[in-house]
Amino acid sequence: MGEIKRTLAEMDLITLRDAIAGGDLGIAEVAASFIEVVAERNPQLNAIVRFDEHWVQAQVRELEQRRRAGETLPLLGVPFTVKDTLWIKGRTATQGSRLFADFVAPEDAVAVQRLKQAGALILGHSNSSEFACKGVTTNRLYGATRNPWNLEMTPGGSSGGAAAAVSAGLGAFALCTDGGGSTRRPAAHSGVVGLKPSCGLIPHPTGFQEPLFGNGVIGLMTRRIADLEPLLATLAGAHPCDADTPVGLARESDPIASVAGARIAFSPRFGLDVPVEEDQLEAIAGVASALEHAGAIVEPRDPVWPQGAGEAAFATLQFAGLAALYGDAFQRDAGPFDPDIAAQIEKGLGLSGADVARAYFDRAELYRAMADLFSHCDAVLTPTTPCTAWPHSELGPATIAGQPVSPRGHAVFTPIINHSFHAAVSVPCGIASNGLPMGAQIIVPRFRDARALKIGRVVEETFGAPFARPRWPLT
């Protein structure tokens, strides 16, 4: 691969955008470079599962016409991937499921539409676990996605294809989803930035029905914190078909003007009795020290959770949602389903209405616990995950810090934020002793997403920059 093409693949979104806008780079030149990167790197990763060079070039021609016509295109020519759970009009979208192997999207997802309007260039669909309901990215249609930092490892899930793509330079950013950590955890495992926006900040009223009863949001992955800002400027805003996007609220000014003086609750286990690897604990303590050095008031403080917080409620709603959406198809023929997803559907079919109602009551308790925590602080700092990535052939690590864990033991710090509708960003914060990246999770009140980015910038400046690229094995 030529040095210029490699440089473009590693370039952050803002630098690439400005080079195109300023005429230093042509849209066709950028597209050709990324087409070559995908061709050389993706076969090792299986990050992008549907890639059509001719379709990419057709987009380039359309973008050049729009530029000549004088359109304002703030993301002109910036290449990105779209998770295979999101619709691109006229293109196949499968959710990683054999049930949808031949489904063609009748319209764009709102987020896809807004990025198209801004002039961004779609490279293809990134891999996802079936229905985005597993913590590893593998399915019976496309197989497993591999982590660019170690090809034997998973990037996590369900947005593992997105994470691997951004980490390996297959696009400047990725559009994905986060229903329980599906953006943040793969970002942490792959050494990139992953944002779960506040529920309602980015509308998502169209496309596949998600099984998480409002917990799922559009997510974003980038190589730098600053790259999230132009994306949010493009994507955020009310939509008439999405009741969760309140008009005007997202534009209210934040009383926390800087990191200096901000009250940050340092919660290395997030108030949960769970094992965490020592490397993760040391890294997150280093992040806390860096924020203190930047003037933040960092104090140990854990949320006070109701009994059985988080995972039980998350699992119940997911199982029930999967059963409601796909239970009939499963009962007719279980053959097309991933066995792990089939097991979740079976559990969902055995739930009662009272079980689901209790899960909603639990979710309300989680929200109240987070509201109480935010009455004492402006942001919360936790590890994104309690461990680094594990082999892609396994559903989850068997042990963490020497203790046996369930298959969801790696996911303990993220689903609660989906239940509570708050915003959180995962920022790279170092490399563990096994050579794999780690992430720090910064949680903020709903619609204070910009605050998370402000705090995340300090983390990135201290820890993130040296670790933003994998030691790609083929270059």
Residues marked active site are found at 83, 158, 182
Per the CB < 8 A criterion, the answer to whether 177 and 216 are in contact is: yes
Per the CB < 8 A criterion, the answer to whether 158 and 135 are in contact is: yes
Structure tokens at 391: 């082999």
Among residues 207, 56, 186, the alpha carbon closest in space to that of 121 is found at 56
Residue 311's φ and ψ, nearest 5 degrees, are -65, -40
Torsion of CA 422, 426, 427, 430, to 10 degrees: 140
Answer left, alpha or beta for residue 213, where phi above 0 means left and psi between -120 and 50 means alpha.
left
Positive or negative, the CA dihedral 442, 447, 453, 458 is: negative
Rounded to whole angstroms, the Cα distance separating 277 from 432 reads: 9
Rg (CA), the chain: 21
Rounded to whole angstroms, the Cα distance separating 407 from 349 reads: 21
Rounded to whole angstroms, the Cα distance separating 136 from 101 reads: 20
Rounded to whole angstroms, the Cα distance separating 181 from 194 reads: 9
